[in-house]
């Protein structure tokens, strides 16, 4: 059993990692899972990558790919500001050596299993994987980097939480076989402290305004969104998702 810290999008805000996440690694039983989008938007993408580079070899930092990292791994660039060539090369090395993953699976203390990805697995993406029934199988399949699913605009790097992810599962004739934890987007505006989703999603959801997490229940499964929306300067308050007495499945 370990203590899992699942960290949402960082977006170039190295000071947020330094202040909130790194002190937790003083506990040798803590493992960090970061869901991607390390870079862009904030002031110090290079600093973020330096932190991850230091901690990846320890085996206590699991790094997932986000759509912003994908710009340097084969898709058409979309962000106007480019990271340094050395940092782009670092991302490519991580990808080629499997240090940068698409997904992982975890089991919480209450036994619920979660698939962890950058943006979530929609119903259509789940079907493209031949409908895996466990989070572990789904993660293993995603880590084979299936194309074109991986780069699809509603795939696990790009799906929007409300219309694509939650909406697809609400409309599906079957319930989700496992829970999901994701970053990339959310169903609220933290800045305005307001909901930004249809009522059918709002009615199933709760929000932790201080930690900047939302939880949406669909047929008994929990979908937990953890993108804190740091913007260009970093959120004034937020927290990683903490799962005590958890198990890393893959």
Whether 247 has a pLDDT exceeding 90, the answer reads yes
Residue found by looking up tokens 């669909």 in the block: 218
Contact 124, 154 (CB under 8 A): yes
User: Rounded to whole angstroms, what are the CA distances from 31 to 61, 161, 190, 228, 245?
Assistant: 6, 25, 27, 19, 11
The pLDDT value recorded for residue 236 is: 87
- 208-226 pLDDT, tens digit per residue, is 999 999 999 999 999 999 9
Helices (H) and strands (E) in the chain, counts: 8, 13
The pLDDT value recorded for residue 74 is: 83
Beta bridge partners of 4: 31, 243
Buried b (16+ CB within 10 A) or exposed e, 138-164: bbbbbeeebeebbbbebbbbbbbbbbb
Which domains does the chain show, CATH number per domain?
Answer: 2-248 (3.60.21)
**Nearest CA-CA partner of 20 in 243, 234, 183, 187:** 234
- 83-116 pLDDT, tens digit per residue, is 999 999 999 999 999 999 999 999 999 999 999 9
Count CB neighbours of 98 within 10 A: 9
- 34-84 pLDDT, tens digit per residue, is 999 999 999 999 999 999 999 999 999 999 999 999 999 988 999 999 999
Contact 197, 165 (CB under 8 A): no
Contact 117, 102 (CB under 8 A): yes
3-class SS letters over 113-124:
EEEEECCCCCHH
Count CB neighbours of 93 within 10 A: 12
Mapped onto helix, strand or coil, the DSSP state of residue 110 is coil
Determine the Cα–Cα distance for residues 198 and 163; give it in Å rounded to an integer: 9
The pLDDT value recorded for residue 91 is: 98
Mapped onto helix, strand or coil, the DSSP state of residue 243 is strand
For the chain, the straight-line distance linking the first and the last C-alpha, in angstroms and rounded, comes to 13
Q: In the numeric block, which tokens belong to residue 170?
A: 């609400």
The pLDDT value recorded for residue 26 is: 95
């Amino acid at each position: 059993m370990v203590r899992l810290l699942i960290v949402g999008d960082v977006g170039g805000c190295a000071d947020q990692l330094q202040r909130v996440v790194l002190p937790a690694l003083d506990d040798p039983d803590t493992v960090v899972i970061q869901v991607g989008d390390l870079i862009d938007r904030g002031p110090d993408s290079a600093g973020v990558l330096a932190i991850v580079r230091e901690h990846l070899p320890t085996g206590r930092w699991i790094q997932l790919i986000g759509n912003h990292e994908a710009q340097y791994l084969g898709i058409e660039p979309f962000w106007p500001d480019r990271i340094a060539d050395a940092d782009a090369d670092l991302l490519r090395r991580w990808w080629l050596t499997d240090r940068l993953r698409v997904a992982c699976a975890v089991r919480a203390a209450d036994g619920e299993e979660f698939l962890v990805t950058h943006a979530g697995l929609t119903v259509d993406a789940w079907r493209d994987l031949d409908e895996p029934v466990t989070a572990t199988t789904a993660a293993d399949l995603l880590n084979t980097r299936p194309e074109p699913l991986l780069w699809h605009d509603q795939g696990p790097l790009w799906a929007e939480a409300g219309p694509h992810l939650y909406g697809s599962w609400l409309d599906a004739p079957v319930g989700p076989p496992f829970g999901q934890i994701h970053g990339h987007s959310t169903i609220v505006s933290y800045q305005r402290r307001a909901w930004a989703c249809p009522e059918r999603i709002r009615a199933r959801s709760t929000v932790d305004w201080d930690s900047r997490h939302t939880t949406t229940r669909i047929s008994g499964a929990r979908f937990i969104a953890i993108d804190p929306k740091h913007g260009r300067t970093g959120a004034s308050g937020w927290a990683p998702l903490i799962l005590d007495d958890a198990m890393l499945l893959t």
